[in-house]
């Protein structure tokens, strides 16, 4: 596990971070981004494909909202990340049926 790192949001820094991540066999990077900066978001997604490292970008406003109002954003982030990393996503519910196995 690697620690959280704060870097200035520019293409050179992000590219270097992806290079370091690839060299260290990192499989997933979580980004907290300014949602108004679409160029940086697009660059992150291009690097994701080039370096074959899965990413999840979370707008910083969502993080602040979650902290302030305790909204369910965290659960949504976990669900999306689980799917990106190859996990399954399904709902289980009570059912009044029996399952037979042969």
Q: What is the pLDDT of residue 88?
A: 54
**101 within domain boundaries:** no
**60 within domain boundaries:** yes
Range of the domain at 39: 11-84
* Residue at token pair 């979650």: 66
Q: What is the pLDDT of residue 75?
A: 74
**50 within domain boundaries:** yes
Which positions of the chain have pLDDT values less than 50?
91-102
Q: What is the pLDDT of residue 94?
A: 45
The H or E element spanning position 79 is helix 73-84
**77 within domain boundaries:** yes
pTM of the predicted structure, to 2 decimals: 0.67
Q: What is the pLDDT of residue 87?
A: 67
**2 within domain boundaries:** no
- The Cα–Cα gap between 82 and 85 comes to 5
- The Cα–Cα gap between 18 and 51 comes to 7
Residue 17 CB coordination number (10 Å): 19
Per the DSSP assignment, residues forming a β-bridge with 54 are 28
> Counting beta carbons within 10 angstroms of the beta carbon of residue 87, is it exposed (0 to 12), middle (13 to 18) or buried (19 or more)?
exposed
Q: What is the pLDDT of residue 11?
A: 92
Q: What is the pLDDT of residue 102?
A: 43
Q: What is the pLDDT of residue 4?
A: 67
Domain count of the chain?
1
């Amino acid at each position: 596990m690697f620690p959280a790192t704060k870097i200035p949001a520019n293409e050179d820094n992000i590219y270097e971070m992806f290079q370091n991540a690839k060299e260290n066999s990192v499989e997933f990077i979580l980004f907290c981004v300014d949602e108004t900066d679409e160029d940086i978001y697009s660059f992150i997604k291009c690097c994701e494909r080039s370096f074959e490292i899965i990413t999840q970008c979370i707008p910083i406003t969502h993080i602040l909202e979650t902290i302030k109002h305790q909204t369910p954003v965290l659960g949504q982030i976990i669900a999306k990340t689980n799917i990106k990393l190859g996990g399954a996503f399904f709902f289980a519910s009570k059912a009044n049926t029996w399952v037979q196995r042969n």
